[in-house]
């Protein structure tokens, strides 16, 4: 094989993979599917695109091996495909967070307006006697994996279930990732009700990356 042919086909193949990341809707889908499996319609609804469009993006992602699917009756459930797919998405995300002013500014502004300007990181987490870890994602996502010690109250049920939360602890909320707004909503609601609340920057996925030995394929 010619050197030039070799390099061209290698780099073209990798560029094809990168192109799968090169669309806003697909990134949002990927972020969603990293937290658990979803049907095409769920994906479409939650990312605010049409079903046909979601289907097409999902197939492109599947061809790129970034997601996988399983059929259950009429429904087809899609999930992220393995650790490396998430690692690559995370590396891209962190690059953007570190170096892309547009991302930094938008995130800071949104969090500020949402009344959740500060956030904690996992290594600066207070002990169990000082804080309670609250997972505000939908229950199925919590069930498919969560941070150790976290309690689950989906954001939609939180207003009715405030009574379940201790008032002498700091409530530390988390959700799907840095661009998920559930945790911000939760902080806002909790603060409005007199709780001490703050958003956690990390999510279950970051924990899974280091601790889930089964996430190999």
Partner DNA sequence: AATCTATTCAATGATTTGTTTGAATACTTG
Partner DNA sequence: CAAGTATTCAAACAAATCATTGAATAGATT
Which residues are tagged catalytic?
A: 175
Binding mask 108-147 for a second copy (x = CB under 8 A): -xx--x----------------------------------
Q: Residue 30 and residue 120: Cα distance in Å, rounded?
A: 24
Q: By the 8 A CB rule, do 88 and 21 touch?
A: yes
Pick from 3, 4, 71, 210 the residue near DNA by CB under 7 A: 71
Residues with Cβ within 8 Å of 179's Cβ and at least 6 positions away in sequence, in order, are: 31, 107
Sequence-ordered alpha helix ranges (H) in the chain: 3-21, 24-33, 40-47, 51-63, 82-99, 101-113, 139-143, 182-192, 204-211
Cα–Cα distance between 57 and 87 in angstroms, integer?
20
By C-beta, is 19 or 161 nearer to a second copy? 19
Closest approach, Cβ 42 to a second copy, in A, equals 16
| Partner from DNA, a second copy, none binding residue 71, C-beta < 5-8 Å depending on class | DNA
- Of 55 and 84, the one with the shorter C-beta distance to DNA is 55
Total residues at the site for DNA (CB under 7 A)? Answer: 26
Q: Compose the 77-116 pattern: x for residues touching DNA by CB under 7 A, - for all others.
A: x---------------------------------------
- Around 127, how many Cα atoms within 13 Å sit in the side-chain half-sphere? 1
Do the Cβ atoms of 206 and 177 come closer than 8 Å? no
SS3 assignment, position 89: helix
Q: Are 186 and 137 in contact (CB under 8 A)?
A: no
Q: Return the residue of 51, 91, 143, 192 that touches DNA, per CB under 7 A.
A: 51
Q: How far apart are CA 101 and CA 104, in angstroms?
A: 5
Using alpha carbons, select from 216, 178, 194, 148 the residue that is nearest to residue 28: 178
77 makes contact with a second copy (CB under 8 A): no
- Would you count residue 152 as binding DNA (CB under 7 A)? no
Rule CB under 8 A: say whether 53 interacts with a second copy: no
**Closest CB to DNA among residues 50, 214:** 50
Residues in contact with DNA by CB under 7 A are 19, 22-25, 39-41, 49-53, 55-60, 69, 71, 73-77
Applying CB under 8 A, the residues found at the interface with a second copy are 1, 3-4, 6-15, 17-19, 21-28, 48, 65, 81-82, 84-85, 87-88, 90-96, 98-100, 102-103, 106-107, 109-110, 113, 179, 181
């Amino acid at each position: 094989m010619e050197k030039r042919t070799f390099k061209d086909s290698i780099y073209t193949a990798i560029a094809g993979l990168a192109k799968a990341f090169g669309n806003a809707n697909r990134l949002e889908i990927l972020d969603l599917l990293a937290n658990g499996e979803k049907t095409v319609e769920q994906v479409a609804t939650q990312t605010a695109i049409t079903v046909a469009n979601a289907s097409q993006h999902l197939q492109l992602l599947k061809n790129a091996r970034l997601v996988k699917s399983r059929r259950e009756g009429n429904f087809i459930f899609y999930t992220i495909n393995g650790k490396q797919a998430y690692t690559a998405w995370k590396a891209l995300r962190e690059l953007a967070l570190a170096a892309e002013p547009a991302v930094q500014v938008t995130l800071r502004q949104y969090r500020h307006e949402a009344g959740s300007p500060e956030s904690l990181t996992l290594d600066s987490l207070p002990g169990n006697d000082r804080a309670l870890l609250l997972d505000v994602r939908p229950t199925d996502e919590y069930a498919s994996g969560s941070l150790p010690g976290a309690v689950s109250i989906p954001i939609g049920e939180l207003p009715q279930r405030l009574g379940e939360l201790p008032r002498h602890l700091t409530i530390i909320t988390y959700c799907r990732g840095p661009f998920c707004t559930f945790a911000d909503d939760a902080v806002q609601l909790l603060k409005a009700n007199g709780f001490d609340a703050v958003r956690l920057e990390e999510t279950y996925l970051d924990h899974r990356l280091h601790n889930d030995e089964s996430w190999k394929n």
